[in-house]
Structure 1
Amino acid sequence: MPVEVFATDEHRLGLKPILRSVWAPVGERPIALGHHRFKWLYVTAFVGPSTGETVWYLSNGVSKPFFEKLLHAFAQEVGAGPAKRVVLLLDNAGFHTRPNLTVPDGLRLVYLPPYSPELQPAETLWTLVDEPIVNRLMPSLDDLHDIVDARCRWLTGQREAIRTRTTFAWWPKNYAPS
């Protein structure tokens, strides 16, 4: 029975701009427009570091019932079930854990130690997702959603770039019996 290993994480984006350093002429301070509004868009990524396969979901919130639905949608998307097992690495966020979390057949959850984001391969995807919105003022959550949706769709085709970014030296290889 084939076994694949994936990692998942969430990223919260809002109408508050993501600021990064930029070049500016000597003696001038660069201007970054911003309006601190607290409306959020959540990006959830399921990534297979060995292959670069990524499944993206956008939402306006997170909760245990919603995460349970995401797990079922993800399991269906990658074909997890009696004929294929998927091991999923994730953090210990309250909505990721039992009790009252139904895990689909064929999916096995493995939790990272507390406070260890450096071990999470999916964490490395957020700079790629943020790229088109860095230092930009987003007028509305719909505009942010459209830009991030287009970016995630584009990143889905960038398997080699995602594979090289997310495959850590200790990451296990997928297993297919001979």
Structure 2
Amino acid sequence: MGASGQRPVIAQRWRYQWLYTYIFVEPQTGQSEFLIFPTVNIPSMEIALRECSRAVYPEGRQLIVLLLDQAGWHMSKKLSVLPNIFLPPFPAYTPELSPAEPMVMKLKVPLANKTIGDLQEVEDLIVRECEILRSCPQEVKSLTLFPWIKHVLDSS
């Protein structure tokens, strides 16, 4: 028992494990692709870009425009980008412009208010939600085809 008025010292070991979901969405069609990685960094981003290109246009000839926030691994000069991919950034601090943001919120729903045993269970829940979203392009379109995107598409 510690001295009166002092908190006892207890040894703790905080452990964190992370998963990151890379989300690619085409708001006009609702087509979406998801990749789950244990980290976010330049090599993971390069893999994600190659997989996105392969999934969307396997022959690699069509131009893919991916709007990204300005995370370091998105904008790094060290990032090797395929010639058919163009990466314009959103203005800084504008997550509300990103069509991926509503998708992030959808992926968090199955995790909310749950006691989860391990990281594999988290991954399984995210994978299941990704599969649901991929099979529901109309829902994805309703979440991601923002008025500003529709305006840009209509004026082109």
TM class, shorter-chain normalised? Answer: 0.7 to 0.9
- Mapped partners of 2:27, 2:45: distance in 1: 21
What is residue 13 of structure 1 aligned with on the other side? none
- Mapped partners of 2:17, 2:143: distance in 1: 29
What is residue 114 of structure 1 aligned with on the other side? 92
| TM-score for the superposition, normalised by structure 1 | 0.73
- Mapped partners of 1:60, 1:127: distance in 2: 19
More strand by share: 1
What is residue 65 of structure 1 aligned with on the other side? 43
Is this contact kept in 1: 2:53–2:60, CA < 8 A?
no
| Unmatched 5+ stretches in structure 2 | 1-13
Query: Please, which of 73, 84, 88 is the counterpart of residue 62 of structure 2?
Result: 84
Q: Does 1:131 align with 2:116?
A: no
Note the C-alpha offset of 1:82.
5.8
Is this contact kept in 1: 2:54–2:60, CA < 8 A?
no
Q: Does 1:173 align with 2:150?
A: no
What is residue 27 of structure 2 aligned with on the other side? 49
Q: 1:114 to 1:53 in 2, by over 3 A?
A: same
| Unmatched 5+ stretches in structure 1 | 1-35
Q: 1:46 to 1:162 in 2, by over 3 A?
A: same
Note the C-alpha offset of 1:37.
5.0
Q: Which amino acid aligns with 2:70?
A: N
Identity %: 30
Q: Which amino acid aligns with 1:123?
A: E
- Mapped partners of 1:61, 1:83: distance in 2: 29
Q: What CA RMSD, in Å, does the superposition of the two structures yield over aligned residues?
A: 2.1
Note the C-alpha offset of 1:41.
1.0
Structure with the greater alpha carbon radius of gyration: 2
- Mapped partners of 2:47, 2:18: distance in 1: 20
Match of 1:56, SS state, is strand
Is this contact kept in 2: 1:89–1:111, CA < 8 A?
yes
What is residue 130 of structure 2 aligned with on the other side? 152
| TM-score for the superposition, normalised by structure 2 | 0.83
Q: 1:129 to 1:87 in 2, by over 3 A?
A: same
Structure number with greater CO (CA < 8 Å, separation at least 6) is: 1
More helix by share: 2
What is residue 17 of structure 1 aligned with on the other side? none
What is residue 139 of structure 2 aligned with on the other side? 161
